[in-house]
């Protein structure tokens, strides 16, 4: 196995990433207790075998391992369609401690989850929250999500930080019966997310309307009964809380499949068009989505994009996208809004980014990551069109960026009043 030899500060002054790999091979202990027979494995593409306790559904799945730094909202994370094709390693150790409920679900299809698996540090405890309706382990089983606990997620995070995204197979068998050679071959053979269009797995297959508004304690979710605007949301794998944010801003929302033609969208006579988040390589999905986005831009309608929608909007105006080393996944990412000069803490989930050097002259860079300087937002200088890389709807995460939905509505209102600038 070839591994980097430099010292990794996150693993201690004397422990290199090679040593981290060796430590991960020996993982499978929880609190120092040796596990004689593991019931779950995480098998990396380089042959590293990480042992642990199985949780959730039994079976196996292959995907790209990424780490998420959020300390709350594990249900929202695990039901975010943008994680299709990925195995999530949570850096926060206490996942599952508040149980699970039927409200904190982000996929529009309540019966499915598209994440390939989850990796935890500690065992799942009994739920301790007034909103809990069931044990987290039971929730994972019902949704078909394979999990492994007892993993040194700190070492795994350090390994990903050094090497970049890693492909792996996650497997859970209550009897501890594994064909390790077959799992190694499957992990090594998986091609990865570059060039992969995963949107067909997560997009709506037919049009529907949405009027549910944001959750408010103690009433819960509300309804938008007197909408002032009509927004068509193109579903590349959208999150429900985005729709709630739009509805809470006075919108009637019509959701359409990712493959919808621009002519069909415009025939609905929307006041604005929203381009949603989603999984996979934007260049792959853009093969059929970008031509339609260009027509939407040309229509003069206000357009707002988030995450994958942001990336494909950038492609539509002539920019390029690229795969990131480790991506951005978490609810604590600082972003600067150049239009206001303010810094906001944001929720992110993306493994591809817009190449800021490729932005054309008629596009303004509006937001930038303060972690690594990557692009986080654009706006067209001559049209009511803008997008951001991060998730202003949060869920989970801070609500610093809710103002972007108001910014979209302001563009719609100006357009309705005949302002063409």
**In 3D, which of 363, 365, 307 has the Cα closest to residue 333?**
307
The string over 76-99, giving b where at least 16 C-beta atoms fall within 10 Å of a residue's C-beta and e elsewhere, is: bbbbbbbbbbbbbbbbbeebbbbb
Q: Could you give the residue numbers annotated as active site?
A: 307, 391, 393
The length of the chain, given as a count of residues: 421
CB of 156 closer than 8 Å to CB of 67: yes
Residue found by looking up tokens 């069109």 in the block: 385
Question: Nearest CA to 379 among 411, 357, 349?
Answer: 411
Neighbours of 372 (CB within 10 A): 12
Strand 272-275 relative to strand 251-257, pairing:
unpaired
The answer to whether residues 133 and 102 touch, using CB atoms and an 8 Å cutoff, is: yes
Q: Which of 242, 253, 270 is nearest to 415 (CA)?
A: 270
Q: With beta carbons less than 8 A apart as the criterion, state whether 387 and 306 touch.
A: yes
Q: How far lies 117's CA from each of 9, 50, 184, 274, in Å?
A: 28, 14, 17, 29
Stretch (H or E) spanning 385: strand 385-388
Can you tell me the distance from the alpha carbon of 329 to that of 80, in angstroms, rounded to the nearest whole number?
A: 12
Find residue 192's DSSP bridge partners: none
Q: What is the Cα–Cα distance from 65 to 75, expressed in whole angstroms?
A: 18
Query: Residue 320 burial (CB < 10 Å; 0-12/13-18/19+)?
Result: middle
């Amino acid at each position: 196995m070839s591994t980097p030899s430099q010292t990794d500060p996150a693993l201690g002054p004397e422990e290199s990433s090679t040593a981290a790999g060796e430590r991960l091979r020996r993982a499978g202990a929880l609190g120092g207790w040796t596990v004689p027979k593991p019931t779950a494995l995480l098998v990396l593409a380089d042959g590293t075998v990480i042992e642990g306790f199985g949780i959730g559904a039994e079976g196996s799945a292959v995907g790209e391992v990424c780490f998420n730094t959020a300390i709350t909202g594990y249900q929202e994370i695990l039901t975010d369609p943008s994680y299709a094709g990925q195995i999530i390693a949570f850096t926060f150790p206490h996942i599952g401690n508040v149980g699970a409920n039927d409200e904190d679900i982000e996929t529009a299809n309540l019966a499915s989850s598209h994440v390939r698996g989850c990796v935890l540090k500690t065992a799942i405890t009994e739920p301790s929250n007034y909103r809990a309706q069931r044990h987290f382990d039971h929730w994972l089983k019902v949704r078909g999500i394979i999990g492994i606990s007892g993993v040194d997620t700190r070492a795994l995070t350090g390994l990903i930080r050094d090497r970049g995204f890693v492909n792996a197979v996650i497997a859970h068998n209550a009897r501890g019966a594994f064909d390790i050679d077959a799992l190694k071959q499957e992990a090594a053979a998986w091609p990865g997310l570059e060039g992969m269009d995963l949107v067909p797995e997560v997009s709506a297959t037919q049009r529907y309307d949405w009027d549910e508004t944001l959750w408010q304690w103690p009433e819960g979710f509300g309804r938008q009964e007197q909408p002032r605007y009509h927004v068509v949301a193109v579903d590349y794998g959208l999150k429900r809380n985005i729709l709630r944010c739009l509805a809470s801003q006075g919108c009637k929302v019509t959701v359409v499949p990712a493959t919808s033609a621009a002519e069909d969208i415009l025939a609905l006579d929307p006041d604005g068009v929203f381009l949603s988040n989603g999984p996979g390589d934007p260049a792959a999905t853009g093969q059929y989505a970008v031509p339609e986005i260009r027509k939407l831009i040309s229509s003069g309608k206000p357009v707002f994009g988030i995450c994958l929608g942001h990336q494909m909007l950038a492609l539509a105006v002539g920019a390029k996208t690229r795969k990131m080393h480790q991506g951005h996944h978490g609810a604590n990412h600082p972003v600067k809004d150049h239009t206001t000069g303010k810094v906001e803490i944001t929720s992110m989930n993306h493994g591809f980014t817009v190449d800021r050097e490729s932005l054309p002259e008629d596009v303004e860079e509006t937001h930038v990551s303060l972690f690594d300087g990557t692009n986080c937002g654009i706006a067209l200088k001559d049209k009511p069109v803008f997008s951001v890389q991060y998730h202003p709807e949060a869920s989970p995460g801070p609500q610093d960026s809710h103002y972007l939905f108001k910014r979209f509505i302001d563009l719609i209102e100006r357009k309705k009043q005949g302002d063409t600038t």
